[in-house]
Structure 1
Amino acid sequence: MNSRSHTLREAIEEMIAVGKLRPGAHLDETVLANEFNVSRTPIREALIQLASMGLVVIRPRRGAIVADIPPQRLVEMFELMAELEAMCGRLAARRMSKADHDELLNLHAACQKARESGNPDDYFYKNEAFHQAIYAGSHNTFLVEQTRNLHRRLRPYRRLQLRVRDRVANSFAEHEEIVNAIIAGDGERTADLLRHHIMIQGERFSDLMVSLRQLMDDAA
């Protein structure tokens, strides 16, 4: 993979994740090339990579746009995400070492500090590191790869959830239970807690849809 296009892919992916490039937004190669001070070729390569990940849709003769996932598809993806994380958690509770536990506790403390700062974007990044540690703690390389791939596709929507009232505080409280279950070696409880933590149903799904509509209205 070309290192420049890889770096650009990561930068554009981050812009999508934090809402700078929003669902449905047109991705103009010339504008992006000027912004990153590169030619259009590595930008085009980066967009192709993002399209292979499902974050971008390339339309023949009309250019690329940020993928906009329909509500039902979004529910299905979160359902799968919940099961993948539950599986990671179940294995992590059985397989994490003392060093893994220490790292998880450090990341949990970082989430607490971010929560207390009142900055949802800071919490978003600390929360990602927390979940990545659980994936790695499964010590199942293929499972980690699949879980990370879907996590990346859902990043913009996971971030939006944290902007819903009280979600950061609730998320951290759920982390506390997950950490305790992992350290206790209780795989089934860990799986159940992570499944509940990730699933978007009822009010949580309604709140996410409202956040998406507000985002689209702000972009109009």
Structure 2
Amino acid sequence: MTGVTKPRAETTPEPIAFAPGARRADALRVELENAIVTGAFKPGDRLDEQSLADRFGVSRTPLREALGQLAATGLVTLQPRRGAFVASLGFRDIIERFETMAALEAMAGSLAARRIDSAGRRELETSLAACRSEAERSDSDSYYLANERFHHVIYAQAHNGFLGDEARRLHQRLKPYRRLQLRAGARVAVSLAEHERIAAAILAGDPAAAERELKTHILVQGDRLNDFLAAFERQGRDD
């Protein structure tokens, strides 16, 4: 699609109410990211600056900065003389990125099981408790935020700065798809059970089990692959 996306009437947002001290560009980045993740903007859609500025009740300056932030994470592509577009990845591209993510997370889990410190143990337990709490609400998007924190704790406790940076970078690029797969079937409940096993392995100091559990957790395969593909195709059709 090359035209400007027209928001659905029922999902058109009110102008953003900025919190005191909040940077407008950051707030806009979150709004646009959520619109992409939830399918309000589809892969390939053009993000017209003026239309978006009118939609969110802001000037174009913070909007351009927000689009630049999204471009840095790979969610948006900036094309000279054409503008900003929602990044378009094929299903094979996404699966390849999940395979790479699984390898990075497995390594982070293995290292965390060896290197986690007392503060990291508390952070991991706290983040797991948050995942349990959000899973009880049955809200996949809310659960995703707790899920994200859980994984970031593991990256930090690997105590390998380069690995952590790469894992966080790819995690950010896969964010829309990681959130999308949580909407398939009973994935939130399954994800929580996997988190329980991952945390148990890390806290027990079992690198092999932590590596195995994280790799299984991230890879999209088998029945989960079929569910994810169905959700991916539904989002592509839901205009």
TM-score norm. by structure 1 comes to 0.90
Q: Secondary structure at the match of 2:114?
A: helix
Matches within 5 A, 1:11-50: 11-50=31-70
Deviation at 1:169, TM superposition (A): 0.9
Tell me the secondary structure at the aligned position of residue 64 of structure 1.
strand
- Per mean C-alpha deviation after superposition, the further-off stretch among 36-45 and 109-118 is 36-45
Find the aligned partners of 2:65 and 2:131 in 1 and give their Cα distance. 35
Matched, 1:9 2:25: no
CA contact (8 A) 2:37 2:180 kept: no
Unmatched 5+ stretches in structure 1: none
Instruction: Map residues 137-216 of structure 1 onto 2, 5 A cutoff.
Output: 137-216=157-236
- 1:95 pairs, out of 115, 128, 134, with 115
CA distance in 1, matches of 2:146, 2:136: 12
1:194 maps to amino acid: L
Question: Comparing 57-66 with 134-143, which one deviates more in the overlay?
Answer: 57-66
Structure 2 unmatched runs, 5+: 1-22
- Aligned identity (percent) is 49
Shift of 1:149: 0.6
Who is 1:74 aligned against?
Answer: 94
Count the aligned residue pairs: 217
**TM-score where L is the length of structure 2:** 0.83
Distance across 1 between alignment mates of 2:132 and 2:166: 28
* Greater mean alpha carbon deviation, residues 36-45 or residues 50-59: 36-45
CA contact (8 A) 2:76 2:84 kept: yes
**Structure 1 residue 74: Cα displacement:** 0.8
Which 10-residue stretch deviates more, 16-25 or 119-128?
A: 16-25
Residue type at the aligned position of 1:65: F
Contact between 2:36 and 2:42, CA under 8 Å: does it hold in 1?
Answer: yes
Is the aligned partner of 1:112 residue 2:132?
A: yes
Which of residues 104, 129, 133 is equivalent to 1:84? 104
Paired with 1:18 and 1:94, the residues of 2 have a C-alpha distance of 38
Taking only aligned residues, the RMSD between alpha carbons, in angstroms, comes to 1.8
1:79-127 CA deviation, whole Å, 9 max, x = no partner?
1100111111111111111221111111111111111111111111111
Q: Quick one: distance in 1 between partners of 2:79 and 2:207?
A: 44
Distance apart, 1:141 and its partner CA: 1.6
Is the contact between residue 185 and residue 227 of structure 2 (CA under 8 Å) also seen in structure 1?
no
Greater alpha carbon shift after TM alignment, 34-43 vs 91-100: 34-43
Contact 2:41–2:86 under 8 Å retained in 1:
yes
Give, in angstroms, the shift of residue 174 of structure 1.
0.6
Q: Structure 1 counterpart of 2:195, which letter?
A: H
Question: Per residue, is there more helix in 1 or in 2?
Answer: 1
CA separation of 1:5/1:120 partners in 2, compared to 1, >3 Å: closer, same or farther? closer
